[in-house]
Amino acid sequence: MHEIAIVNHLFEIINEVSKKENLSKISQVNFLLGEMQQIVPEIFRFAFESAAENTIAQNAILNIEIVSIKGQCNSCNKICDVKKVFYCSFCGSKDLNIINGNELIIKSIEGE
């Protein structure tokens, strides 16, 4: 389960930010999660809540924004949604550059 490793790293960052900003409590973490990361949001949320117990982030809200996979076609230069098959929905080319969907980004950390 790589969700746990990612949550552990997330808490390293939360601790750094809270020290730097003199926060005594984290109330909310906003997170961008790309579909290509193959992270199960429910497991990620459970791991976050478990890791938050008895920490500065106890009872913090974790907002997860899923970023869909998008590719730019090298043949027709159009941008298309890429779901389970990696080809251009406009021209059928398989020559795509993935431009969205691989995110694993802390959008913001809120606290007081």
Q: Is the pLDDT score of 86 beyond 90?
A: no
- Contact (CB, 8 A) for 101 and 66: no
Q: What percent of the chain has pLDDT over 70?
A: 99
Which domains does the chain possess?
A: 2-9+26-111 (3.30.2320.80)
Instruction: Give the whole-angstrom CA distance, residue 39 versus residue 63.
Output: 14
What's the confidence (pLDDT) of residue 85? 75
Question: pTM for this structure?
Answer: 0.86
What's the confidence (pLDDT) of residue 42? 95
- 51-80 residue pLDDT tens: 999 999 999 999 999 999 999 999 999 999
- Contact (CB, 8 A) for 111 and 91: no
Q: What percent of the chain has pLDDT over 90?
A: 91
